[in-house]
Amino acid sequence: MKSSRRLFLKQGAIALASVGLAPAFGPKFLRSAVYADAPARLAAAAGGKKVMICIFQRGAVDGLSMVVPHGDANYYQLRQVGPGGIAIPNSGPDALIDLDGFFGLHPSLAALKPIYDAGHLAPIQAVGSPNPSRSHFDAQDFMESAAPGMKVIQDGWLARTLNNCPEDQANMRELFRGVSMTSRVPRSLEGYSHSIAIPDLKTFGLAQSNKVRDLNPDGTPGNAAPSDMSGAGAFEAMYDQGSGDVIHGAGQETFEALKVVKSLDARPYVPANGAVYPRGAFGTSLMQIAQLIKADVGVEIAFAEIGGWDTHVAQGATTGRLATDLRDFGNGLAALYTDLGDKMADVAVLTMSEFGRTARQNGNGGTDHGHGTCFFAMGGEVHGGRVLGQWPGLAPEQLNENRDLVVTTDFRDVFGEMAQRQLGLTDLSALFPDYQTGPDKYRNILSV
């Protein structure tokens, strides 16, 4: 039976009336029965189900340092190589990794080169927003809502994607369609009533009352045994009523998610194919996304974020702050690719950032807020092995306000292509209010 909880939650009010015996608030035994069947049904549906992973680099990453336009004569005029400079040299032991004679990868992103060569990774240069704002807050808001300049839009583009995707009808379980490995639901997923934010799968469980958290063998406190749900029933009962209250809704989602996570393999997750994720929150997020995808819980869109890209000061070149962060970034993506293995045929990863940075370095060995930046697309269907987008050039007259990279690809074209070609969205006007995009504007990131 199609869950009509979505219908009622959309209306927001206490509207339960016409729904009748919908699983969400029928007798509990019925709900359990419905969901008990789901795993088997989902596995059948999930075979070949497409997934999109969005990774937001918060803080405005320097696209010119990630994918270096060394073939552009102006690059080495604007930025200096050597001590205090932020330019990546094109020769020597720490040189950039050439991609196509014009662009090269930052040496810290070396792990991505084999994926590029395999034709599954494509950088997209000079992507950004038509809105001139260089405010992190605004630009992230505009990008996550995919409505630059329009502050009235409340929901995020991933939410609208999920709400308008045709696969929707076939889905039994809505719960993990939009999952985010963050502590709060990101702006991009706001508006999708079933979006779920899980900061850490390992600790996603209910502690038992009257017990301290169990210790792992190595002395670190473990999470409460997620297999024990005795406490859950009590809390769950309080959130059981559909009421239109956003907290009740989140509460119900919590307990459903708990059941799903409980059904996952309790043994520690071992990445496949020898993939090694970088230590830290970002690596863990990606690993857990891979875990959820492989567990066939119904993930359609996964979201992760990584911060620290706001390099106003001491950005560094081949060593330093940016280089260190890029190493984690690249290694994480590569590990995800390796870990997912064959499943990459159905997965597309898109990285994004709210804007780029100034073409010249500032007085503090860093860069200030700019415009165009570089996104990455990675996946089995991606037209990899080349740098996509249209390069506007770095000559003074080619720069935006003589300051930063011009935007030649509206990020909504990238988002639209991913939503349409990866997830099967057909109604692009529902996704982008006030903006027309289509195959004529796409950069051909994905095969049709």
Partner 1 sequence: MADVHSERRKHFLGRQSRSLAAAACLLLISGAAEAVFAAPSSIPAYTKAQKQSALTEDQKISLVLNRLAFGPRPGEIQQVRTMGIDAWIDQQLHPETLDDSTVDAEVARLEDVNMSGTDLMAAYKEDKARQKAKQQERKLLNAANGTTGQVQPAVGTPQLDAGQVQPVAGIQGPQAGAAGAGAGASMLSLQAGSSVVASNFGANGLQTRSPRAAENLANLPDMMPGTSIEALGELASSKVLRSIDSNRQLQEVLVDFWSNHFNLDVNKGPVQDLIVADQRDVIRAHVFGKFRDLLEASAKSPAMLWYLDNYQSTRTFTPQVRPQRYRYVRTMQYINGSAVAVPVMRELPVGRPAAPAKARKSGLNENYGRELMELHTLGVDGGYTQQDVTEVARCFTGWGIDQQTGEFMFYPNRHDDGQKIVLGHLIPAGGGMQDGETVLDILASSPSCAHFISKELCVRLVSDTPPEALVDRAAATFTRTQGDLREVVRTIVTSPEFYSPSIYRSKVKSPFEYAVSAVRAVDGHYVAPDPDNLRGRAAITADAGVSIRRRPNRYSGRNSPSIIQEIADLGEPMFSYEFPTGYPEISSRWVSAGGLLARFNYATALGSGQVSEVNASPTDLLAGIPLTDHMAVLHKLVGDILNGDISDSTRKALINEMPASGPVDPTQLTALIIGSPEFQRR
Q: Which is nearer to partner 1, 47 or 219 (CB)?
A: 219
Q: How far apart are CA 110 and CA 326, in angstroms?
A: 10
In the complex, the smallest distance separating the C-beta of residue 362 from partner 1, rounded to whole angstroms, is 6
In the complex, the smallest distance separating the C-beta of residue 82 from partner 1, rounded to whole angstroms, is 10
Q: How far apart are CA 181 and CA 304, in angstroms?
A: 5
Q: How far apart are CA 84 and CA 65, in angstroms?
A: 15
Among the listed residues 26, 103, 86, 131, the one whose alpha carbon sits nearest the alpha carbon of residue 410:
131
- Identify whether the C-beta of residue 357 lies closer than 8 Å to the C-beta of residue 311: yes
Q: Which is nearer to partner 1, 360 or 421 (CB)?
A: 360
Q: Which is nearer to partner 1, 78 or 112 (CB)?
A: 78
Q: How far apart are CA 87 and CA 76, in angstroms?
A: 7
- Identify whether the C-beta of residue 105 lies closer than 8 Å to the C-beta of residue 67: yes
Q: Which is nearer to partner 1, 16 or 45 (CB)?
A: 16
**Contact footprint for partner 1 (CB under 8 A):** 13-17, 58-59, 132-138, 183-185, 195-200, 203-213, 215, 219-221, 223-224, 231, 234-235, 237-243, 245-248, 250-251, 253-254, 257-258, 281, 307-308, 312-313, 362-364, 368-369
In the complex, the smallest distance separating the C-beta of residue 199 from partner 1, rounded to whole angstroms, is 5
In the complex, the smallest distance separating the C-beta of residue 177 from partner 1, rounded to whole angstroms, is 13
- Identify whether the C-beta of residue 323 lies closer than 8 Å to the C-beta of residue 330: no
Q: Which is nearer to partner 1, 118 or 215 (CB)?
A: 215
In the complex, the smallest distance separating the C-beta of residue 41 from partner 1, rounded to whole angstroms, is 23
Q: Which is nearer to partner 1, 93 or 101 (CB)?
A: 93
Q: Which is nearer to partner 1, 216 or 273 (CB)?
A: 216
Tokens representing residue 371 in the block: 């415009």
In the complex, the smallest distance separating the C-beta of residue 71 from partner 1, rounded to whole angstroms, is 21
3-state secondary structure of 348: strand
In the complex, the smallest distance separating the C-beta of residue 281 from partner 1, rounded to whole angstroms, is 6
- For residue 78, give Cα distances in angstroms to 70, 74, 126: 12, 6, 17
Q: Which is nearer to partner 1, 53 or 378 (CB)?
A: 53
In the complex, the smallest distance separating the C-beta of residue 313 from partner 1, rounded to whole angstroms, is 6
Q: In what order do the strands lie in the sheet with 409-410?
A: 196-197, 178-180, 301-306, 51-57, 347-353, 373-379, 121-128, 409-410
Q: How far apart are CA 359 and CA 41, in angstroms?
A: 52
The residues near 113 (Cβ < 8 Å, ≥ 6 apart) are: 97, 99, 105
Q: Which is nearer to partner 1, 206 or 335 (CB)?
A: 206
In the complex, the smallest distance separating the C-beta of residue 194 from partner 1, rounded to whole angstroms, is 9
- For residue 351, give Cα distances in angstroms to 90, 162, 212, 407: 25, 18, 40, 16
Q: Which is nearer to partner 1, 222 or 385 (CB)?
A: 222
Q: Which is nearer to partner 1, 163 or 195 (CB)?
A: 195
Tokens representing residue 372 in the block: 């165009």
In the complex, the smallest distance separating the C-beta of residue 378 from partner 1, rounded to whole angstroms, is 25
In the complex, the smallest distance separating the C-beta of residue 248 from partner 1, rounded to whole angstroms, is 6
Q: Which is nearer to partner 1, 401 or 427 (CB)?
A: 401
Q: Where are the alpha helices (H) located in 341-442, listed in sequence order?
A: 411-417, 428-431
3-state secondary structure of 314: coil
3-state SS of the chain: helix, strand, coil percent to 5? 35, 15, 50
In the complex, the smallest distance separating the C-beta of residue 303 from partner 1, rounded to whole angstroms, is 12
Maximal CA-CA distance, the chain:
72
- Identify whether the C-beta of residue 359 lies closer than 8 Å to the C-beta of residue 404: yes
Residue 178 phi, psi dihedral angles, 5° rounding: -125, 105
The residues near 415 (Cβ < 8 Å, ≥ 6 apart) are: 146, 157, 431, 432
